[in-house]
Amino acid sequence: MVVGGGSAGWLTAALIAAEHVATPLRPLRVTVLESPNVAPIGVGEGTWPTMRDTLRRVGVSETELVRECDASFKQGSRFNAWVDGLDNHGYFHPFVLPQGYTETNLVAGWLQSHAHVPFADLVSFQPHLCAQGKAPKQTATPEYAAVANYGYHFDAGKFGLLLRKHCTGRLGVRHVQDHVVGINTHDNGDIASLQTRTQGALAGDLFVDCTGLQSLLLAGHYGVEFVSQKQVLFNDTALAVQVPYAHDSSPIASHTISTAQHSGWVWDIGLPTRRGVGHVYSSAHTSDEAAEQALRTYIEKTGGPQDMASPRKLSFEPGYRKEFWHRNCVAIGLSAGFIEPLEASALALVELSAAMLSDEMPATRDAMDIVARRFNDAFSYRWERVIDFLKLHYVLSQRRDSAFWRDHVAQASIPERLQELLTLWRHRPPSRYDLVRVEEMFPSASYQYVLYGMGFRPEPGAYDRRADSSDRADGFFRQAAQLTRKMLPALPSNRDLIDHIKRHGMLPI
Ligand SMILES: Cc1cc2nc3c(=O)[nH]c(=O)nc-3n(C[C@H](O)[C@H](O)[C@H](O)COP(=O)(O)OP(=O)(O)OC[C@H]3O[C@@H](n4cnc5c(N)ncnc54)[C@H](O)[C@@H]3O)c2cc1C
């Protein structure tokens, strides 16, 4: 029984239903129970390339996704004003690995002869595609296939509706609309059933808590402790607004634009029919009024209307639960935790959680406790890595123009593991030895993109190890430049590709 019909609930239900056939021995049935009185959060528009695999795995058509969810293609993020506060100074964190990443020390080659070129622009073609608003594929590229690695930007509300239609229409998921008002337990403490307002008690064997920030079962019923991260990452409030384009033919950015502000940052996500823009900030460091003014200024500066609609305010405490799977209840989505929207890791965590649940679906109650322990270990580790990676952006900033930025570099606010890594990286670049688990949240390449994009530099000469590394790296830099020259004229703009898909669809795989 999945409780909650937001993105987390429907993605989890879809993965389980798509991958488990009910048999007389294992009569697995998936139900999504959602309250008609509590709307899904309605934000969460940026995803990772993992979403392509997830949607393909559950059988959603990519053409339908583009047509029904106002979806566009995302190839990474650009960070403006993060380094020194200057709007025109930024860098890319693209989704493709640097050219030749696993074969040589590119960073040494970059520092030796090309340090005047931004790292990502030298080692990857993708920042150049993004800078020119190019799509990551051609009109003839089939569904889910890519010329350049990509994820999506989409309308979160419409995404939930598409998944709901897919789950109930094609995957046999039962959909119950009712409000949970109580929880009934077995003698051993397991949840036996959920008491609903109009349909009585609904029983189940395993309950997936996808009830959003209120975490109705895991926190509300079981009281599982919350591990706050407010002392590490201070943002706890967001103002979100939808911004119309100046024209129907305005370009659609194929990357998320993140622009640092006085006490937070603004996200800017281009969908085909509008932009989704929001200011996420620390309420301890600025007021709602000042944050709204900063958002208005950003929107005006980036071509939006002067009479911006009133933004929607969302509050959250950054952190996650001490455990995610307790007895026969597992929390996925906001009910498990939320840090902040930077790097859009929340839906990726939902995908990983739903995938592990589906792959490891316990066959018996005894097996469930074992799976639960492993699940808790895997996801505690992943939340910690998300925190390290997000904090990295703030720690490396040279901004000191407000208490927000100054507080972010206070030693006590920096996780110990991140401090250690920063020490190591003065002498060698981030590598696979730093991230040793399968399915790490962020690969070492992502750390390199952010580290060097943010202006981090090693001890002089520290990275020069092998005599030939500079020559080998140069070969890969030339490859990246050749790919850029080849791809730029061959790829349509993000908008042209989306218009084409809306009219003609994509070749199914
Ligand atoms: C400002 C902000 C920006 C974000 N941006 C991104 C982003 O760019 N990328 C990304 O990956 N993530 C992002 N996220 C996170 C993302 O929004 C969520 O991870 C995602 O939407 C999943 O939400 P959910 O399904 O867990 O919860 P919700 O969408 O809140 O759904 C909760 C569900 O529980 C149900 N429910 C609640 N109470 C009851 C009850 N008593 N009985 C029955 N049902 C009940 C509700 O009806 C609803 O269906 C962002 C979050 C915030 C706050």
- Give the mean pLDDT of the chain: 96
Rounded distance, CA 368 to CA 325, Å?
9
Q: Looking at domain 237-315, does it have CATH number 3.30.70?
A: yes
Ligand 1 proximity of 500 Cβ (cutoff 6 Å): no
Closest CA to 509 of 18, 145, 4: 145
Ligand 1 proximity of 6 Cβ (cutoff 6 Å): yes
Give the mean model confidence (pLDDT) for residues 134-156: 98
CA of 349 to the centre of ligand 1 (A): 13
Provide the percentage of residues in the chain whose pLDDT is more than 70.
Answer: 99
Ligand 1 proximity of 194 Cβ (cutoff 6 Å): no
Domain range 2-42+157-228+317-386, CATH architecture: 3-Layer(bba) Sandwich (3.50)
Q: Give the amino acid at 62.
A: E
CA of 334 to the centre of ligand 1 (A): 6
Q: What secondary structure does DSSP assign to 143-187, as a single string?
A: TT--SS--EEE--HHHHHHHHHHHHHHHS--EEEE--EEEEEE-T
Q: To 5 degrees, how large is the angle CA 411–CA 417–CA 421?
A: 90
Check residue 466 and give its pLDDT: 65
Check residue 343 and give its pLDDT: 97
Q: What is the 3-state secondary structure (H, E, C) of 91-113?
A: EEEECCCCCCCCCCCHHHHHHHH
Strand (E) or helix (H) holding 238: strand 237-243
Residue in the structure block whose two tokens are 């590490």: 232
In 3-state terms, what secondary structure has residue 32?
strand
Check residue 89 and give its pLDDT: 87
- What's phi and psi for 194, nearest 5 deg? -110, 130
Closest ligand 1 atom number to CA of residue 238? 1
Q: To 5 degrees, how large is the angle CA 125–CA 500–CA 303?
A: 70
Q: Each residue of 62-84: pLDDT tens digit?
A: 999 999 999 999 999 999 999 99
Q: Each residue of 484-500: pLDDT tens digit?
A: 999 999 999 999 999 99
Q: Each residue of 3-39: pLDDT tens digit?
A: 999 999 999 999 999 999 888 777 789 999 999 999 9
Q: Are 462 and 427 in contact (CB under 8 A)?
A: yes
What number of residues does the chain have?
509
Check residue 465 and give its pLDDT: 66
Closest-CA residue, ligand 1 atom 7, reads 44
Check residue 439 and give its pLDDT: 87
Closest ligand 1 atom number to CA of residue 48? 11
- What's phi and psi for 258, nearest 5 deg? -115, 120
Ligand 1 proximity of 256 Cβ (cutoff 6 Å): no
Q: Each residue of 441-470: pLDDT tens digit?
A: 999 999 999 999 999 999 988 888 666 667
Ligand 1 proximity of 435 Cβ (cutoff 6 Å): no
Q: Give the amino acid at 48.
A: W
Residue 344 predicted with pLDDT over 80: yes
Q: Each residue of 226-284: pLDDT tens digit?
A: 999 999 999 999 999 999 999 999 999 999 999 999 999 999 999 999 999 999 999 99
From 2, 7, 74, 312, mutation site for ligand 1 pocket: most ligand atoms within 8 A of C-beta: 7
Give the mean model confidence (pLDDT) for residues 472-490: 97
Give the mean model confidence (pLDDT) for residues 159-174: 97
Give the residue extent of every domain in the chain. 2-42+157-228+317-386, 237-315
pLDDT-wise least confident of 108-112, 195-199, 462-466, 483-487:
462-466
Ligand 1 proximity of 238 Cβ (cutoff 6 Å): yes
Q: Each residue of 298-336: pLDDT tens digit?
A: 999 999 988 888 999 999 999 999 999 999 999 999 999
Q: What secondary structure does DSSP assign to 435-498, as a single string?
A: --STT-SS-HHHHHHHHHHTT---STTTT---TTHHHHHHHHHHHHHHHHHHHHHHS-BHHHHH
Ligand 1 proximity of 41 Cβ (cutoff 6 Å): yes
Check residue 462 and give its pLDDT: 86
What torsion do the CA atoms of 402, 403, 405, 411 make, to the nearest 10 degrees? 150
Contacts of 160 (CB under 8 A, 6+ apart): 5, 6, 7, 10, 40
Rounded distance, CA 75 to CA 49, Å?
8
Angle, in degrees to the nearest 10, between helices 444-453 and 416-425: 70
User: Which pair of structure tokens corresponds to residue 323?
Assistant: 């455990």
- What's phi and psi for 362, nearest 5 deg? -65, 135
